Chains A and B, each alone.
Chain A
């Protein structure tokens, strides 16, 4: 394909070459003839009819597909006719017919006639050639004709009675070559004969060859000869000075690169050459064009689809972005709220912790500040009662005993309040250690015995043989038992108080039973709530903060046990608590 293109370019440049030659040849004449122009038009010229012969030798002169005479010579003569006001009448025919008509004066002008001295005798020629064209040998593709010598013995078609043929004959004769001449009326016939194999080669001018060879399936050979100038030929001695008028116009036209002359040359040479693409190239071009169109169309459709998809995707994308933005916003808001909440929580926690610290400090201070004066009261009362400061009389001893009792009661109240406060502040820490529960029970019972007996009550302690060591906080366990026993003594006026302890599935269950006033069923539920000493009426009779049982319950829970009560009004109550053998075993 590359070589074909190169070849095409060669055709083109060859054409230009011919054209350039024609121009260069025209310039000297131009200088001579430019001066007298413009000539005044003769009066008789107006409305004059000029008959022009037409034969088929495209692109110089030919009949177009539409039946209209066309070509370089036609364009030029029509330009001149327009300028001169001529009316042109075309007379179609063969080359030979045209020459004959011009000779006889039947037509005014015959285009495309090469100047020869011989013709000069018959025709009148103008001076400035319309164009110069080389003659060239054309053959079928792959003919192998590379030089004039290859034409020896070949059948060669040529336009009859043409200068070209004469020159070629002279040329071949000088090389001593022989060939068989096949005379043809026109180049079209000639090319057909070469193409169909009736002739081996054909002679034509380059312009025609460039335009028609490829279409006919022929190619140019390197054999070129006799560049000849071509003119319009007029009948000799005809009136009207047609050659002079043509020369004048040609001189003018050749001076101006934008003139009709150059336009014609360009139109019928370069353009035609360029236009005359080989059939296969045209087909290829069509296919390529088709493919291009299809791919263009395809790509358009594809692009359309892609655009549509892109738009869809963009929509989806925008939707996604919108959603993400929404979510992000929501998340940010949630986050902000969370942060605010966390800050508030942190603040609250800090506040609570600060409050806790203040509470703890307050408890410690209160403990100290309340106990210090009590220390004096209890201490000095005790010293006096012991007689360490001297003997007391009976009344003094009785009164001091009352002071001591009140002080002890005040101390127990303070202790209760401190205990419940410590429990609620989480300040009550346990010290689990192994100890003998049996021993502890007896110890606590012994400590309460004087009080029991002072009320005329009896106290019995029954600890099962399998009760022994337990891991718990001994102080708290003893405190719980003492509290229950104190309550029993407080609410019992006659009868007995008994303490029992048995071992049950991982627990020791300790019970304190009294024969006291008992508790109504409706009061049992709130028995263990803080500050809930049942029956306001009783509170005067039975002193206490009402904290004892709630402290017991909380402590029991802290050591991993539980507490419960069974009671009947006026029959007595049984308070029981269980303790895991080892703390945390439940």
Chain B
């Protein structure tokens, strides 16, 4: 059975690019266009990993991460932040909000899968 990755991203091109890479890599991808939808979908599908864009409309990625972490059923799911924010403290803020990893945009297609799989528990060991 394919592992499921939830990708919360509002940008269509990024969503297509990442979904394409992940599906080629053998993963099932669920997509959400904003934080609210992402949180609901996470509770519904219980993905193996969540890729979270930080620059989201209405509710930013940090808030989404905190809400995901506040749900005990979802608390164990690894969250990897994707952000083109490169300002001071972005990485720290993401980690503090409950993210397990941090990938800067633009993504490098050559290394992207490796960076994601680093946080997938099933692939470890």
Contact = CB atoms under 8 A, between A and B. Distances in A.
Given A386-B109, A388-B24, A379 B85 contact: no
A386 B110 contact: yes
B44 interface: no
Interface in A402-423: 411, 415, 418, 422
B45 to A, nearest CB: 25
Contacts of B88: 422, 427-429
B21 interface: yes
Contacts of A367: 84-87
A106 B84 CA distance: 158
A372 B87 CA distance: 15
Contacts of B105: 371-372, 375
Given A367-B87, A422-B88, A376 B14 contact: yes
Nearest to B23: A388
A528 to B, nearest CB: 22
Contacts of A388: 20-21, 24
A81 interface: no
B55 interface: yes
Nearest to B83: A368
B65 to A, nearest CB: 18
Interface in B8-52: 11, 13-14, 17-18, 20-21, 24
Interface string A359-373: 010011001100110
Contacts of A377: 106
A376 B84 contact: no
A456 B108 CA distance: 26
Given A418-B86, A422-B88, A372 B11 contact: yes
Given A383-B17, A383-B21, A427 B110 contact: no
A411 B84 CA distance: 11
B89 interface: yes
Nearest to A384: B109
Contacts of B85: 364, 367-368
B12 to A, nearest CB: 10
A382 B107 CA distance: 10
A127 B1 CA distance: 171
A371 B87 CA distance: 13
Contacts of B124: none
A378 interface: yes
B74 to A, nearest CB: 27
Contacts of B13: 372, 375-376
Interface string B86-115: 111101100000000000011111100000
A382 B108 CA distance: 7
A418 B90 CA distance: 14
A431 interface: yes
Name A's interface SS. helix
A372 B9 CA distance: 12
Interface residues of A, number: 28
A63 B36 CA distance: 141
Nearest to A368: B84
A381 B24 CA distance: 15
A374 interface: yes
A380 B17 contact: yes
A372 B84 contact: yes
A287 B49 CA distance: 123
Interface in A333-360: 360
Nearest to A475: B91
Contacts of B20: 383, 388
B59 to A, nearest CB: 17
Contacts of B24: 383, 388
A368 B105 CA distance: 9
Contact of B106 (A363, A375, A422): A375
Contacts of A382: 108-110
A443 to B, nearest CB: 14
Contacts of B55: 368
Contacts of B87: 360, 363-364, 367, 422, 427
Contacts of B86: 367, 371, 415, 418, 422
A271 B87 CA distance: 117
A568 B24 CA distance: 52
B62 to A, nearest CB: 14
Given A367-B87, A427-B88, A428-B88, A378 B21 contact: no
Contacts of B107: 375, 378-379
A427 B90 CA distance: 11
A418 B85 CA distance: 11
Nearest to B92: A431
Contacts of B18: 379
A412 to B, nearest CB: 12
A53 to B, nearest CB: 138
Contacts of A411: 106
Nearest to B88: A429
Contacts of B110: 382, 386
Contacts of A364: 85, 87
Contacts of A386: 109-110
Q: Which 3 A-B pairs give the minimum distances between C-beta atoms?
A: A382-B109, A375-B106, A371-B84
6 contacts: A367-B86, A368-B85, A375-B84, A375-B105, A411-B106, A422-B86
Interface of B: 11, 13-14, 17-18, 20-21, 24, 55, 84-89, 91-92, 105-110
